[in-house]
Amino acid sequence: MSESLTLQGVHTHIGRYHILQGVDFDAPGGHTTMLLGRNGAGKTTCLRTIMGLWKASRGAIRLGSAPIANLPASAVARSGVAYVPETMAVFSDLSVRENLLLAAREGPLDEARLQWIFGFFPALKKFWLSRAGSLSGGQKQMVSIARAIVEPHRLLLIDEPTKGLAPAIVSGLIDCLKEIKRGGVTILLVEQNFRVAREVGDFVRVMDNGRIVYAGAMAELAEDPQLQARLLGLSLDSHQ
Amino acid sequence: MSAIDVGAALPRAKIEILPALTPLIVAAIAAPFIGSWSTFATLTLAGLAMGMMIFTMASGLTLAFGMMDVLNFGHGAFISLGAYVATLVFLPLAAWAQADSLMLNFAVFGLALIAAVVVTGAFGFVFERVLIVPVYGQHLKQILVTLGGSIVVEQLLYALFGPEQIPISPPASFNGSFVFGEAAIEKYRVVAMGVGLAVFVAQIVVLNRTRIGLLIRAGVENREMVEALGYRIDRLFVGVFMAGSALAGLGGVLWALYRGQVHASMGGELLVLVFIVIIIGGLGSVGGCFTGAILVALIANYAGFLAPKLALVSNILAMVVVLLWRPRGLYPVSGR
């Protein structure tokens, strides 16, 4: 069953910086929610706080009805959350196979699921035994996403998966994300590319200065150039 | 569902053979200067044995540093502790150690190794929980706290065993030498070489063929991502730290029997050498640590024979040369 992610009044401090300043939003179960905003708005911090990689100094985070705020990252992962960081964080010295083997925490790799993944990313099959560090940026992104879906999860947190990728690869990734969503997984996706956001997202949350400044349906935002301009303008002004 | 195939752009993985060949290159350079084949062979075999012992002591530290990012200046305390544990086994079992029986000799040697591994491993657990946990991520405090911890251990050993050096000799069967033509190598060095090699092979097998090894290799590169995959990195840290401490204790036993004496500051005296080896090897790399240990030991032996005054600084010079060539060590670990 798909489960929603809910954040209520989440604050995060990193050192003396107050990054998240009361974030409230939900990501409905079985849908893809886009988290948009300018650089430095707090999107990555938000994902890392949900994942338990940074501690929330205040507020509640729930997956379904289970509170996950301030659990260690390992406990958050074991509760069914997978994370694809902006840096991809593939283990360069390990082979593609070993990267996926580590992600299959429950035991050996499921052959059928592996074939399903190879359907999206044939390159992974080709370079199965190659060192992940020797792959190109696009191939590393595939490893990173494959690692997140090699076992079924309830929530996927993905941070800018299309950053620096060629358009052909981006199109494939869009299809892949749509397919994952069809499996009933809740996805929270940080993305700077509005075209990707429009194609993949069901809902959108826009962040600025550590707060949510807009929450609505993606279609609504996509069809309203004025709203886009206002939100983008707001971000741009703040940036300047 | 569309498939993404960007499989054409894979660059060939570089196979780094040259760093592994550095001990051979050093030997080849030293051979003509040494002149006599038998002296060269004796020095080389002795260097290999010494290198294996240093590797045993250093490999735990490189893994702990690589994975946990902990500067453990107390590593020497585990070396000393292991050596003292060996004396506690050897003294009451002196009759076995000196008996004319290979089996009894190996039994006392094996017991000493096992006891040292168990005691130093357990002590490593306490050391990590009490001293290291509060200072994770704070290098300066780590240096101060672990150095302080090693001083406490050293003084406790002095208090318990006295300030005198305790003599200890290898079991009777390990005395004497094997002679190959005009070259000779002490039997004990062959045993130490065997133990060191076994430790190396075991580490390579564990790191490359087991899930725990995969986790350690991944953890050396990116601790955070290992945790984000659902693994309790803190437990892995404790395990690695205990294993590293146990290996230091094991190395301490080998070193004590090699030098024929035990004293509380022996670990501290070896610590500089151990750090040089792990820096030369590349922090976090077991293979690099192995190559670095052999390299350092060979250079020390050759320099001791060719230019005894230079022997004192040969390790530092070796480190400088290696770092000028490869600033992150012979086999740098990705992400560090």
Is pLDDT of A234 > 60? no
Q: Which amino acid is at B169?
A: S
Residue with token string 């502790």: B81
Q: Is the pTM of this model over 0.90?
A: no
The whole-number average pLDDT for the span B190-217 is 93
pLDDT (mean) for A60-81: 96
Both tokens of B248, joined, read: 């230091």
Position A176 confidence tier, pLDDT thresholds 50, 70, 90: confident
Written as six digits, the tokens of A25 are 């939003």
Q: What is the DSSP string of B307-321?
A: -HHHHTTHHHHHHHH
Residue A60 pairs in a beta bridge with: A8
Question: Which residues on chain B are in Cβ contact (under 8 Å) with A131?
Answer: 13
Inter-chain touch A121–B4, beta carbons under 8 Å: yes
Question: What length does chain A have?
Answer: 240
Report percent pLDDT > 70 for chain B.
95
A97 → chain B, closest CA residue: B214
Mean pLDDT of A106-117: 89
Q: Does A176 touch chain B (CB under 8 A)?
A: yes
A173 pLDDT above the threshold of 90: no
Mean pLDDT of B57-68: 86
Q: What confidence category does residue B65 fall into, taking pLDDT thresholds of 50, 70 and 90?
A: confident
B14 falls in which pLDDT band (50, 70, 90)? low
End-to-end Cα spacing for chain B: 38
Q: Are A61 and A79 in contact (CB under 8 A)?
A: no
Tell me whether residue A237 is exposed, middle or buried, using C-beta atoms within 10 angstroms of its C-beta: 0 to 12, 13 to 18, 19 or more: exposed
> Does the beta carbon of B224 lie under 8 angstroms from any beta carbon of chain A?
yes
Interface predicted TM-score of the whole assembly (ipTM), two decimals: 0.91
Confidence of residue A238 (pLDDT cuts 50, 70, 90): very low
Mean pLDDT of all residues belonging to chain A: 90
pLDDT at B10: 46
pLDDT tens digits, one per residue of B278-305: 999 998 899 999 999 999 999 999 999 9
User: How high is the pLDDT of residue A159?
Assistant: 95
Q: Is the pLDDT of residue A235 over 70?
A: no
Q: Is B100 on the interface with A (CB under 8 A)?
A: no
Q: Is a pLDDT exceeding 50 seen at residue B161?
A: yes
Q: What is the mean pLDDT of residues A174-187?
A: 90
Angle at A98 between CA B66 and CA A51, to 5 degrees: 70
Q: Over the Cα atoms of chain A, what is R_g?
A: 17
Residue A85 has, within 13 A of its CA and on its CB side, a CA count of 18
pLDDT of res. B4:
53
Q: Supply the pLDDT for residue A232.
A: 60
List the Cα angle B83/B87/B90 in 5-degree steps: 130
pLDDT at residue A120 tops 90? no
- Torsion, Cα of A218, A202, A63, A11 (10° steps): -20
Residue B165 CB-density burial (10 A; 0-12 exposed, 13-18 middle, 19+ buried)? middle
- Say how far apart CA B48 and CA B195 lie, in whole Å: 12
pLDDT higher than 60, residue A67? yes
Burial class (CB in 10 A: 0-12, 13-18, 19+), B58: buried
Q: How confident is the model at residue A237 (pLDDT cuts 50, 70, 90)?
A: very low
Which residue of A lies nearest to B331 if distances are taken between CA atoms?
A: A93
Coil/strand/helix, residue A185: coil
Tell me the DSSP string of B143-169. HHHHHHHHHHHHHHHHHHH-SSPEE--
- Tell me the average pLDDT of chain B: 91
**Structure-token match 């990195």, residue found:** B233
d(CA B318, CA B288): 14
Sequence-separated contacts (24+) of B124-132 with Cβ below 8 Å: B124/B78, B124/B241, B124/B242, B124/B243, B124/B244, B124/B245, B124/B246, B125/B238, B125/B241, B125/B242, B125/B245, B127/B74, B127/B241, B127/B245, B128/B237, B128/B238, B128/B241, B128/B242, B129/B238, B131/B74, B132/B68, B132/B70, B132/B72, B132/B241
- In A, residues 95-114, which contact B (CB 8 Å cutoff)? 98, 101-103, 105
pLDDT tier at A166, thresholds 50, 70, 90: confident
